[in-house]
Amino acid sequence: MNQTTAFPTTALSEWRDYFALLKPRVMTLVVFTALCAMLAAPGHIHPFLGAVSVLCIAVAAGAAGALNQWYEADIDALMKRTANRPLPAGRVAPGEALAFGVALGAGAVAIMGLVSNWTAAFWLAVSILFYVIVYTVWLKRRTPQNIVIGGAAGAFPVIVGWAAVTGDTSLLPWLLFAIIFLWTPPHFWALALFMEADYSKAGVPMLPVTHGLAATRKQILAYTALLVPVSIAPAVLGLTGWIFGGTVLLLGAIFMAMAVQVARSHATVAADMRVEKRLFKFSLLYLAIIFGALVADRLLLA
């Protein structure tokens, strides 16, 4: 074993490395959208049980992240953005990461079923398995459409959050699912545009690698054009109030304008991709604000 694969020597570094396996930045947005779905759902859940349910969603998202990193350690080692993750850097052993992810995932699903209901637990299990098996194992290394289909993994938590309160699902949570599903391609492909060299080096068939930058920019515009009307649909159908509807109209117009800017961009070097980076950052803000507006509708207009 060479020095780059030495394992942690202190409890502090080990704690930090295991926490990094959870992909906390990715987890944050997933948990936020699920929490918003819980707060917007009709009915009531005891605050303690609700807090435990949110924790289960967070742990499940972390488990999926750990299993993703366990499976992708080889390509993570080739990419500058991911080379210092615990597994490729040799700070956590592969077997430990696998056991960690499986234990967290199984525990989260079991506890969700016990404290909330088994409908929510079922969709929580689906979200983990979809991300790990469908996206990570099956799609990511095989098709440039990986992020399109794989986007469902990040959308399932809103179904889980809604079901944790209601015990079932209805049209609104599935529309919220569709919003996240359609939001994922323009969000992630904006990142992929200025990270294209990394994906190419690792042999990951992201759209910029397989079809080029221009084609990716057109796809970003196309998916944004689908996202905007679907985002407005809950308000048009009377499932949400004017706070959500007005917010989505305004942010959707901004999103579309930025997607048009990206489609017109001809930058080929990451350092020059200013509009692409702005779209990536704005897409995070977009999702957070519209889900916040969803909760505001429920709390202020109910």
Residue 155 sits in the same domain as residue 188: no
- How far apart, in Å, are the Cα atoms of 149 and each of 112, 152, 198? 26, 6, 22
User: Residue 247 and residue 90: Cα distance in Å, rounded?
Assistant: 45
**Position 10 confidence tier, pLDDT thresholds 50, 70, 90:** low
pLDDT exceeds 80 at position 13? no
Residue 145 sits in the same domain as residue 203: no
Choosing from 130, 145, 166, the residue where a domain stops is 166
Residue 128 sits in the same domain as residue 226: no
Residue 44 sits in the same domain as residue 106: yes
Contacts of 85 (CB under 8 A, 6+ apart): 20, 69, 73, 76
Residue 181 sits in the same domain as residue 294: yes
Sign of the Cα pseudo-torsion (128, 133, 136, 142, in order) = negative
User: Residue 302 and residue 297: Cα distance in Å, rounded?
Assistant: 7
Residue 215 sits in the same domain as residue 157: no
Do 69 and 76 touch, CB atoms closer than 8 A? Answer: yes
Q: Give the residue-averaged pLDDT of 109-121.
A: 97
pLDDT exceeds 90 at position 240? yes
pLDDT exceeds 70 at position 8? no
Q: Does a structural domain hold residue 145? A: yes
Q: Which domain holds residue 290?
A: 170-302
pLDDT reported for residue 202:
79
**Position 147 confidence tier, pLDDT thresholds 50, 70, 90:** confident
pLDDT reported for residue 221:
97
pLDDT tens digits, one per residue of 56-68 = 999 999 999 999 9
Choosing from 134, 166, 198, the residue where a domain stops is 166
Single pTM value for the model: 0.91
Cα-only R_g, the chain: 20
Residue 76 is part of a domain; what is its CATH number? 1.10.357.140
Total number of domains constituting the chain: 2
pLDDT reported for residue 4:
42
Residue 121 sits in the same domain as residue 157: yes
Q: Does a structural domain hold residue 1? A: no
Residue 73 sits in the same domain as residue 177: no
Question: Of 77, 295, 75, 82, which is closest to residue 204 (Cα–Cα)?
Answer: 75
